[in-house]
Amino acid sequence: MTTVRDRTQAAPTLPRLGPLGWARWAWRQLTSMRTALFLLLLLAIAALPGSIWPQRSINPTRTADYIDAHPKLGPLLDRLGFFEVYASPWFSAIYLLLLISLVGCIVPRTRIHLTQVRARPPRVPANLGRLPAHARVEVDAEPAAAVASLRAAYGRRYRLDVRGETIAAETGYLKESGNLLFHIAVVGVIVGVAAGHIWGWKGDVIVPVGNSFADTMVSYDTLSPGPRADPTQLPPFSFTLDKLDVSFEDQVTGAGQFGQPRDFTAYLTTTAEPGATPVKQVLKVNHPVEMDGATIFLLGNGYAPIVTVKDAHGAIVYSGPTVFLARDNNYTSSGAIKVPAATPKELGFFGNFLPTGVITEHTGPISVFPDVRDPKLALGLYEGVLNPSGQASSVYTLNTKEMTQVKSADGKDVLRLWLSPGETVTLPGDRGSITFDGVTRWAGLSIRHDPARNLTLGSALLALGGLIATLLVRRRRVFARVTPRPHGGSVVEIGALAKADDDGLQDVVDRLAAAVTGAGRPPR
């Protein structure tokens, strides 16, 4: 007779959780190590848009140009916070969840580790021969003497628990301590980076040789203060860029090193505050200058041609160095010279500065070496309104919406200027003249204030130390049992196990057995 199962029987159901139960479940999921690793990976992925799209806090002009050039995608990315990634709510949420997850992992593990450190090693197993590493030796000493010999052989690295004729020993607590130290240090790094972002600030500025800089808001090309930083309370230091030495490889070695940079050194005269004694300091790429409350870094360099523009009556309407930005390894540099004081229309020169300039058939004006060997200035000219409707624009480019390009004197071709140092060219149509007086260098400087940098650096060093301890220290338990022989002497059984794979475990047992018999060294 076949029994038919009652299909109407209720299927087993999961227990229902109340609000407190669901909160505990969510907390356990958030504070698991798997979730912490996932959030760390997610944070790395979330940071990628900050290196793909321009960031408003770093370059607002470039961000606005990108949005204008992408009328559909740009506004959408802006609403999602892709142009201010590190201050966006979703990036901050991931950052905060990672911090909470790590703290939630560390606290219970620390409590468990402290309990284990204070606890006695576990009792000796009944069958030591079943452990991954084991040995059995016979000695002539009586059990009490054999136990004393074993205790001496273990050394100070092991924590011992002697119970009669058995010894339980454990070592390697530093492995778990290093693991906890690593995770605590990671929390320190996260807190330090966050504090530096909130209360710190960063500014970038280009300073030509011979010019001075004062640490005020209006002096920076770009200034990015943290949400809690007050940009009106910057440290009152100042400095003058006295000289900038740049050297390039000028020997043809056949290894592709010709023209490669060899050294960048800037010489500054710094003043900590108004009225203080000036101090001569040297600034190099990997050797920043420390000021009170800020650090000065040398990030880039380039050339600033010195130009004088006169009107048709010979009056100077523009004079001084103009920064040009390098766009290749030979410092072919592009820029714009804006002359708003020109009459009857504003003038805007555009083109390239070439430290070692040549004109080729295929590429036109280019530089063939990054150092100043044969400097040239290749320019074109626009006239009209430099800033339509008062709209701000980049100092390195021209906004030609309300400008027209000037042609040569015969009116057939656009005007092209090719200037050498000391050369003056008269502009067509009674527009005056332009003189290429010479060239100077400029230094690109980044000035930063990070109030938590010591915390971040110290945490990073602690994380490195904890990681080294985690990788090098072995967690081992080594047990021993001494039993008397019927006709005198003792039998010593030794067994050991490790928390993870340990190729040297059997060697530890063999060394301990040899030390007990007097034929070897104690274990490590």
| pLDDT tens, position by position, 310-365 | 999 999 999 999 999 998 889 999 999 999 999 889 999 999 999 999 998 888 88
Calculate what percentage of the chain has a pLDDT beyond 70.
Answer: 94
Q: Indicate the DSSP class of residue 320.
A: E
Residue 289 has pLDDT above 90, yes or no: yes
Which amino acid appears at position 359 of this protein? Answer: I
Pairwise CA distance, residues 440 & 375, whole Å: 11
Which amino acid appears at position 507 of this protein? Answer: D
**Three-state DSSP class for residue 448:** strand
What pLDDT does residue 255 have?
Answer: 62
Using alpha carbons, select from 324, 349, 521 the residue that is nearest to residue 439.
324
Task: With beta carbons less than 8 A apart as the criterion, state whether 347 and 385 touch.
Answer: no
Calculate what percentage of the chain has a pLDDT beyond 90.
Answer: 65
Instruction: Please provide the distance, in angstroms rounded to a whole number, between the alpha carbons at the two ends of the chain.
Output: 71
Burial class (CB in 10 A: 0-12, 13-18, 19+), 432: buried
What pLDDT digit, counting tens, does each position of 239-254 carry?
Answer: 999 999 999 988 776 5
Task: With beta carbons less than 8 A apart as the criterion, state whether 508 and 480 touch.
Answer: no
Name which residue leads in pLDDT, 487 or 38. Answer: 38
Give ∠ CA 324-329-332 in degrees, rounded to 5: 35
Pairwise CA distance, residues 65 & 67, whole Å: 5
Please give the helix or strand (H or E) that residue 104 lies within, else none: helix 89-118
Instruction: Please give the domain boundaries of the chain with CATH numbers for all domains.
Output: 21-113 (no CATH), 120-172+474-516 (3.30.310.80), 201-250+258-449 (no CATH)
Q: Indicate the DSSP class of residue 287.
A: B
Instruction: Please give the model's pTM, rounded to 2 decimal places.
Output: 0.74
What pLDDT does residue 291 have?
Answer: 92
Q: Please give the structure tokens belonging to residue 305.
A: 């041609």
Q: Please give the structure tokens belonging to residue 151.
A: 């205790």
What pLDDT does residue 1 have?
Answer: 45
What pLDDT does residue 426 have?
Answer: 94
What pLDDT does residue 481 have?
Answer: 95
Pairwise CA distance, residues 392 & 396, whole Å: 12
What pLDDT does residue 501 have?
Answer: 86
Which amino acid appears at position 381 of this protein? Answer: L
Pairwise CA distance, residues 281 & 268, whole Å: 5
Which contacts of 226-229 are long-range, i.e. CB under 8 A and separated by 24 or more positions? 226/196, 226/197, 226/198, 226/199, 226/200, 226/201, 227/87, 227/197, 227/198, 228/198, 228/199, 229/198, 229/199, 229/200, 229/201, 229/449
Helices (H) and strands (E) in the chain, counts: 10, 24
Task: With beta carbons less than 8 A apart as the criterion, state whether 354 and 366 touch.
Answer: yes
Using alpha carbons, select from 194, 98, 96, 254 the residue that is nearest to residue 453.
194
What pLDDT does residue 520 have?
Answer: 47
What pLDDT does residue 11 have?
Answer: 55
Pairwise CA distance, residues 115 & 198, whole Å: 38
Residue 6 has pLDDT above 90, yes or no: no
What pLDDT does residue 241 have?
Answer: 97
What lies within 8 Å, CB to CB, of 488 at 6+ separation is 140, 142
Pairwise CA distance, residues 376 & 360, whole Å: 14
Q: Please give the structure tokens belonging to residue 149.
A: 């010999």
Distances from the Cα of 52 to the Cα of 84, 146, 171, 314, angstroms: 12, 70, 49, 49
What pLDDT does residue 519 have?
Answer: 52
Pairwise CA distance, residues 82 & 75, whole Å: 10
Could you tell me how many residues make up the chain? 524
Please give the helix or strand (H or E) that residue 368 lies within, else none: none
Q: Please give the structure tokens belonging to residue 161.
A: 């628990």
What pLDDT digit, counting tens, does each position of 28-63 carry?
Answer: 889 888 898 899 899 999 999 988 998 887 677 678
Task: With beta carbons less than 8 A apart as the criterion, state whether 182 and 109 touch.
Answer: no
What pLDDT digit, counting tens, does each position of 378-418 carry?
Answer: 999 999 999 887 777 778 889 898 999 999 988 888 999 99
Q: Mean pLDDT over residues 471-489, rounded?
A: 92
What pLDDT digit, counting tens, does each position of 455-473 carry?
Answer: 999 999 999 999 999 999 9
Residue 10 has pLDDT above 90, yes or no: no
Please give the helix or strand (H or E) that residue 480 lies within, else none: strand 476-484
Q: Please give the structure tokens belonging to residue 90.
A: 């979703």
What pLDDT digit, counting tens, does each position of 261-275 carry?
Answer: 889 999 999 999 999
Residue tagged 């006695």 (tokens): 120
Distances from the Cα of 465 to the Cα of 36, 106, 382, 516, 524, angstroms: 21, 17, 61, 35, 21
Q: Which residues are paired to 303 by β-bridges? A: 324, 441
Please give the helix or strand (H or E) that residue 201 lies within, else none: strand 201-208
Mean pLDDT (the chain, rounded)? 89
Residue 440 has pLDDT above 60, yes or no: yes
